[in-house]
Structure 1
Amino acid sequence: MPDDTVLIAFDSTQQALRAEMLLEYADIDIDTRPTPKEVTAGCALSIEFPLTDYATAREIIVEQQVEIRGFFRKFSDGYVEIDQQGERKQ
């Protein structure tokens, strides 16, 4: 059973801080946290938020052209990149 949160990983701290500002402005409840070891990213910061806000957050990230490593969810086998529907990327 997958976790009910989404994690955004970044390649730069600048992009992570930019995304943090944009998502907070949109009233999305976020948690800035260290990037999990199993997620390969160039930045030590990640943003976690509820799955229920995924569509809104994804739209903001795409529209504002924030550069990210990807969107991830925690499944039983660890963090896995997800598609637009929030399911495992094929």
Structure 2
Amino acid sequence: MLIAFDSTQQALRAEMLLEYADIEIDICPTPKEITAGCALSIHFPEDELTKVHQIIVNEHVEIRGLFRQVEGGYNQIHM
């Protein structure tokens, strides 16, 4: 799973919040298939999706979207 952002500030804020929640994450470049205003994205395990979504909503983190990697690219998840 991947979170894309519109700003580096929001990406770094999300990184801090997710690490504090003990969610295993990786910071990575935003894939070229995803149009976003920020060059940073966060990968996380799919089984953490509900927890990640709750943190994003509760902490008012501004994101471009949540994406699932599929063959040939990414699909945006609507929650």
TM-score by length of 1: 0.85
Please list the CA deviations of residues 13-72 of structure 1 after superposition, one character each: whole Å capped at 9, or x if unmatched: 000000000000000000000000000000000000000000000000011000000000
Q: Return the alpha-carbon distance in structure 1 between the equivalents of residues 16 and 53 of structure 2.
A: 14
| Count of aligned residue pairs for this structure pair | 79
Structure 2 counterpart of 1:55, one-letter code: T
Structure 1: give runs of 5+ residues left out of the alignment: 1-5, 85-90
Partner residue of 2:64 out of 69, 72, 76? 69
Partner residue of 1:39 out of 28, 34, 39? 34
Query: Larger deviation: 50-59 or 75-84?
Result: 75-84
Identity of aligned residues (%): 66
**Alignment of 1:53 onto 2:42:** no
Query: Larger deviation: 75-84 or 23-32?
Result: 75-84
Higher helix share: 2
Structure 2: give runs of 5+ residues left out of the alignment: none
Please give the secondary structure, in 2, of the residue aligned with 1:8.
strand
Whose Rg is larger?
1
Runs of 4+ deviating beyond 4 Å: none
